[in-house]
Structure 1
């Protein structure tokens, strides 16, 4: 019996090749998209799952609320971990990490390379995160102050296949001995490439006991049975007396380890490899949309085609076939079609996975033949989709009554000129989802273009910047700058700390006013005399720093517009001449006192996720560490080579490691660029799959109305009139879909845009483009079949009457 079902199903699929192709192509595309998205989502949710007892590990962060709003900050004071360990018995262990923000020159043998991804860590690091070791052991790996633990990929880069344990690596001037090699784990939220003991940082005890230095990643591991919510509230009460600020409130919080990767997208100063739970959920929804559309295609086409199979059902029932047997027959056909689609989609997924890995910089594995999970998933998908897509058509077809079928009255509801309510609904749902994705893609593309094109308040083009290296360059940066300015392609140069797109430091500035003091938390930008000229900042009031004024080095400030407003000035000019006080970084007890000599137009030194914050520019050579060089547009490559020659004269022991300012800003929006690309791809797939179904429905609609069209042509109907006749029902459904999708799309994209402090407004044109585009796609899809039917010879349709 089952063999007979299979044979009949195979014959049916081969006989109706167009029907089979449309269904198989639609299901294959839908399944391939689902598999690729599913692999990506599963990989995103696996972060840190390898860590035993990870449910007891939390990262400390704090929520700051001030006039600018509320922000989550991933870095916290070093005393957070110390206080938890000393005062709360439910804490089992703590860990402090300090990120090494800049690239460090590694030297071993003849190899000299800059490396990033370094952290200073307490010896408890491998108690918290037991990474697998290739060489050495995690036990006491960070005990010695000159120890270094490196990743497997770094070990291969410098030592090949040798065991590097015991060998020495020079980091800048300091010599370290390798005590272990850990396996790179792409599912670890910390992208650490090498780990140094916290003792090697050289930090004095007073900084490690600080409540005001927000630079550490602090982790805590609770004892079994401890309640994290209770501990969180107790710790907030404990820290209230230490975290005092009239301008802001600080609320320490605990973040579960397993949430760090996906739930930290909006955190500031985070070093973790961050995903985005919003994008993961959005992609998951898109996968479901595409799969539903593919299933709806099958239901639509199968019910539309029921007219052609009615006599087959009638004959089978007349010779004794039961409804259950017919139901099994039609479900079997669906399962066969689904099985073919699943098999093809697995092959396509396997071929497309390298592209996905390259696009997402992941290492996702897909082994369909050796992985029991994938085999079970394939079987499950075949059964689930076969039953989901085939149940209703099988129910309808198996329910036909032989007498009515043979009289030709069984299918009045699907007869010529009519489309059943089910197919109405499914077409509307298909195009609603398609329009929803089209609108979303247009909004994302417009926002991403806005991020790249918005006026940032400075010129980011043709500016290269690089860290200073070596004592000679650090001590003689002015001479270095002057020699750079002699290079024909260099128009300006500046040395400082806090270039746009790079690291910044915060601090409290205070303004004495009428016997009172007004304090504002402000970003500290350490500049030289040429910073404003090099970046092209715009002065709104006052003057730039000048070598002609001897007091500018020690007693002058330039602030941005936002800082002027926060300090209470209604115009930039009113701020000029007022005194500011700043506790210096190196010696907080030493107060730098100076006057505001200028106000610059707000410039976006951070990403457009964040509002422009108060910023203070002042000369502070103790913090200088980077050089920015403004180049001419012509022959940048030759100019860069000349800059390298100047560099080599000052610091030949260090290779020049540079980047361009516009590249730094492009990296900030990499996630949005990826989302834009993925949305375009999946929107195209959704539209294509929807059009396949619409194409099939139009073909069968034209076939059902073949004789009607012949009569109309004999009576004088034109090709345009017949085309309109066949198209209008479908166009109405698309219009309904547009009306349903537009408010949903507006709401979803409005919520997404709230992630950006600076964003576009969703204009009416987005809905107009999506609407007209959808109608055009539908008309083109239907029009082919409509015109084909309209130009056919009416004699062929009427000769059997």
Structure 2
């Protein structure tokens, strides 16, 4: 019996190839999209879950109060770890991290020299907080000695091969370290990128500065004792700062931020708005949105499958009548239809697994992940797909099977089409489904258009400086740092080089903030600013515009030690009134160094530059101060002519080799650096276009099924109208009018939702577009046009059939 059911099912599938293809393709596409999104969401949710006792680990972050309330910083003062460990008995352990930056990333073993990023200075308690797995060595005392270093497995492999490197020497920026451990290559789901870790003691930081509450460059983690309440600890920490710390600080040193404890498991997905965060950032909003989209696509694909199956089953009414006449029972007929739909579902799910396996590698490349899809090693996923096959197959087949198997043979054989019964009672459900489908489609079209406009704005906005043909790279080696002026002069002689600047804080760099003491309302007050340590050609090289005053000059020896240039935002923040009134104002900066940790640099403002975006457009422009300070110089910017850039680059490399032959040059172009800032937006744009296409295709399948069903039900009406003189356009309009109305309703629902969602998304950007009204018009027109074209096929097909064929059974 089952073999017979399968044979009949197969014949029906082959007989109606086009219809079967649409049905299978729609469900397969929906399942594929759901699987791919599900794998991505699952991967995002796994970050830090492997860390033992991760539920007791928290990261300290601060949120600015007052005018800077939205600013959230994951880097905090080194004093937080000290206070939490000494004053809070519920704290089991604390640990601080300081990023090594590019000043400590040249690793050497023998003749092998490689620049390795993502190095960390960390307290010796690092592995007491994060119990990461070791391949060689052990966590115990791994960071106790100032000259110890722990490597990631792939870094150890590059330098030492497959041998155990524990006890071997490795140079980091010419300083010798001893390898004490190697971490396993299982940290892809850790929120911090780690290639090597050296003790914080190796940084040799001034002790006085380590006790400063204003130096906020440390990433601090807290491990609470079992049973400790994080909310209570957080409240105690906030009160401690108000009651114990603030009274000890001077007026200009008062803290303007509130500390919070962030659970470790939230560090990856809930830190997208954090400033200066070195972690691997995800976005919980995107994860939730993708999950909702996946659920909608799967649900809609399933309903479409039911719609198409129902529409097709209407043509089999006579088959049912004949089967019942020769003795088939209602249960046998139901089993026949259920077998057919389960077979179709099985084919769809198998096709979806194949598509998922094929699309996962490019998705991994696109998202920079290493997701796997192995059903043999994932019994839960295999079981879920099996359950999906059975449930969708039974649900899709049960409805038409129940209705058709209940027909009376006399009525069925008398009429070729059933025009009454349960099929007509759920019209609101079918129409509601079309509204939901096209509302989702219109919503995604609007979102895709708005994201496209914002991304274009990010890439093309005038940043206030010329970023084209500017090559920049960090200086390497003691010789280059000592002879930076000679190095710069020789770079200037390279054919094609227009200008060269050496300094700290070029646009696109992650520049730490600092304090500047300025006259405010008759008294000197400290303001938070971004310090850019520049040379005499910084403004010329970047093409900055002076609003008033003058540039730094080599002819004026006083400029090196007693001159400052500020931006327009600083003029407003400092309360100077106009740029002209800022000229000549006296300001002070605290100079931190090993020899004199709290000396003051006092000077006057000699110029004001037009605001320029040295950070991404996520961040609002902040007060910036430019000053000559050679002790901080570490990066070179070279402005080149537009032609023969290749030969100019080779000339720069030759000069580099002369001053730093032992270190390879690592360079980028400034425009590439800025484009890299918006990679996540570029990827979001691509994903939205893909999901928009999928949603539209699935919606069209549903509309196609409903249009086919409507045309089938009204075959005789159409035949009568044609006999009475109705033309094709009239028939097409008759069948299309109702469905186009549904699309209009869908657009009306989608418009306000899309506006709210996009408005909230744009709030993340300090500089953003206004939501364009034409995007709503374009989305509505596109959806209506797509719907009309989908319906027209069935409508024209029904309108062009010879009316005699529809009326001859009467």
Smaller-chain TM-score bracket: over 0.9
Q: 1:152-231 counterparts in 2 under 5 A?
A: 152-184=153-185, 185-231=187-233
Q: What residue number does 2:245 align with?
A: 242
Which one is further off, 329-338 or 146-155? Answer: 329-338
Matched, 1:495 2:498: no
Matched, 1:233 2:218: no
Q: What residue number does 2:617 align with?
A: 608
**Is the CA contact 1:92–1:222 (under 8 Å) kept in the aligned structure 2?**
yes
1:477-520 deviation digits (Å, cap 9, x = unpaired)? 12222211111211111111111110212122222256422432
Q: 1:568-717 counterparts in 2 under 5 A?
A: 568-586=575-593, 587-717=596-726
Q: What residue number does 1:548 align with?
A: 555
Aligned pair partner of 1:436 in 443, 459, 471: 443
**What is the Cα deviation at residue 48 of structure 1?**
0.8
Return the alpha-carbon distance in structure 2 between the equivalents of residues 370 and 515 of structure 1: 72
Aligned pair partner of 2:776 in 755, 764, 767: 767
1:6-57 deviation digits (Å, cap 9, x = unpaired)? 5554444344333322111011001011111101110110011111111011
**What is the Cα deviation at residue 564 of structure 1?**
0.7
Q: CA 1:399 to 1:249, structure 2 compared with 1: closer, same or farther past 3 Å?
A: farther
Q: What residue number does 2:516 align with?
A: 509
- 3-state SS of paired residue (1:70): coil
Matched, 1:725 2:734: yes
1:65-124 deviation digits (Å, cap 9, x = unpaired)? 232332111111112111111111111111111111216111112211111010011222
1:745-770 deviation digits (Å, cap 9, x = unpaired)? 11111111111111111111001111
Q: What residue number does 2:96 align with?
A: 96
Return the alpha-carbon distance in structure 1 between the equivalents of residues 111 and 719 of structure 2: 85
1:338-379 deviation digits (Å, cap 9, x = unpaired)? 222111111211111111111111111211123212211212
Return the alpha-carbon distance in structure 2 between the equivalents of residues 394 and 500 of structure 1: 67
Q: What residue number does 2:573 align with?
A: 566
Return the alpha-carbon distance in structure 2 between the equivalents of residues 450 and 641 of structure 1: 33
Which one is further off, 505-514 or 617-626? Answer: 505-514
Return the alpha-carbon distance in structure 2 between the equivalents of residues 370 and 69 of structure 1: 48
1:449-500 deviation digits (Å, cap 9, x = unpaired)? 1111111111111111111111221122122222111112111111111111
Return the alpha-carbon distance in structure 1 between the equivalents of residues 395 and 748 of structure 2: 27
Which one is further off, 300-309 or 520-529? Answer: 300-309
1:509-563 deviation digits (Å, cap 9, x = unpaired)? 2222564224321111111111111111122222222223322111111111111
Matched, 1:485 2:492: yes
Return the alpha-carbon distance in structure 2 between the equivalents of residues 448 and 577 of structure 1: 41
- 3-state SS of paired residue (1:412): coil
Return the alpha-carbon distance in structure 1 between the equivalents of residues 172 and 526 of structure 2: 40
**What is the Cα deviation at residue 625 of structure 1?**
0.9
- 3-state SS of paired residue (1:233): helix
Structure-1-length-normalised TM-score: 0.95
**What is the Cα deviation at residue 656 of structure 1?**
0.9
Return the alpha-carbon distance in structure 1 between the equivalents of residues 767 and 634 of structure 2: 30
Q: What residue number does 1:72 align with?
A: 72
Which one is further off, 400-409 or 107-116? Answer: 400-409
Return the alpha-carbon distance in structure 2 between the equivalents of residues 254 and 388 of structure 1: 48
Q: What residue number does 2:300 align with?
A: 293
Return the alpha-carbon distance in structure 1 between the equivalents of residues 399 and 582 of structure 2: 74
**What is the Cα deviation at residue 406 of structure 1?**
5.1
- 3-state SS of paired residue (2:275): coil
**What is the Cα deviation at residue 191 of structure 1?**
0.6
Q: CA 1:204 to 1:722, structure 2 compared with 1: closer, same or farther past 3 Å?
A: same
**What is the Cα deviation at residue 445 of structure 1?**
1.2
Return the alpha-carbon distance in structure 1 between the equivalents of residues 395 and 126 of structure 2: 50
Structure-2-length-normalised TM-score: 0.94
Q: 1:321-470 counterparts in 2 under 5 A?
A: 326-398=333-405, 400=407, 405=412, 408=415, 411-412=418-419, 420-470=427-477
Q: What residue number does 1:522 align with?
A: 529
- 3-state SS of paired residue (1:305): helix
- 3-state SS of paired residue (1:196): strand
Q: What residue number does 2:48 align with?
A: 48
Q: CA 1:12 to 1:143, structure 2 compared with 1: closer, same or farther past 3 Å?
A: same
**What is the Cα deviation at residue 211 of structure 1?**
2.1
Q: What residue number does 1:129 align with?
A: 130
**What is the Cα deviation at residue 605 of structure 1?**
0.9
**What is the Cα deviation at residue 137 of structure 1?**
2.0
Count how many residue pairs are aligned between Structure 1 and Structure 2: 801
**What is the Cα deviation at residue 205 of structure 1?**
2.5
Which one is further off, 716-725 or 619-628? Answer: 716-725
Q: What residue number does 2:34 align with?
A: 34
- 3-state SS of paired residue (1:633): coil
Which one is further off, 334-343 or 705-714? Answer: 705-714
Q: What residue number does 1:757 align with?
A: 766
- 3-state SS of paired residue (1:469): coil
Which one is further off, 345-354 or 702-711? Answer: 702-711
**Is the CA contact 1:58–1:221 (under 8 Å) kept in the aligned structure 2?**
yes
CA RMSD of aligned residues (A): 2.5
Q: What residue number does 1:113 align with?
A: 114
Q: CA 1:390 to 1:796, structure 2 compared with 1: closer, same or farther past 3 Å?
A: closer
Q: CA 1:401 to 1:582, structure 2 compared with 1: closer, same or farther past 3 Å?
A: farther
**What is the Cα deviation at residue 431 of structure 1?**
0.9
1:633-686 deviation digits (Å, cap 9, x = unpaired)? 112111111011111112212111111111111121111111111111111111
- 3-state SS of paired residue (1:186): coil
- Structure 2 residue runs of 5 or longer lacking an equivalent are none
**Is the CA contact 2:314–2:712 (under 8 Å) kept in the aligned structure 1?**
no
Matched, 1:783 2:792: yes
Q: CA 1:746 to 1:413, structure 2 compared with 1: closer, same or farther past 3 Å?
A: farther
Which one is further off, 539-548 or 252-261? Answer: 539-548
Q: What residue number does 1:745 align with?
A: 754
**Is the CA contact 1:415–1:704 (under 8 Å) kept in the aligned structure 2?**
no
1:292-349 deviation digits (Å, cap 9, x = unpaired)? 2211212222333343233444555667766666555544433322222111111211
- 3-state SS of paired residue (2:526): strand
Q: CA 1:369 to 1:505, structure 2 compared with 1: closer, same or farther past 3 Å?
A: closer
Q: CA 1:38 to 1:679, structure 2 compared with 1: closer, same or farther past 3 Å?
A: same
Return the alpha-carbon distance in structure 1 between the equivalents of residues 234 and 330 of structure 2: 63
**Is the CA contact 1:505–1:525 (under 8 Å) kept in the aligned structure 2?**
no
**Is the CA contact 2:60–2:222 (under 8 Å) kept in the aligned structure 1?**
yes
**What is the Cα deviation at residue 581 of structure 1?**
1.5
**Is the CA contact 2:450–2:772 (under 8 Å) kept in the aligned structure 1?**
no
Q: CA 1:416 to 1:287, structure 2 compared with 1: closer, same or farther past 3 Å?
A: closer
Q: CA 1:208 to 1:35, structure 2 compared with 1: closer, same or farther past 3 Å?
A: same
Return the alpha-carbon distance in structure 1 between the equivalents of residues 205 and 333 of structure 2: 80
Return the alpha-carbon distance in structure 2 between the equivalents of residues 719 and 612 of structure 1: 62
Return the alpha-carbon distance in structure 1 between the equivalents of residues 738 and 809 of structure 2: 28
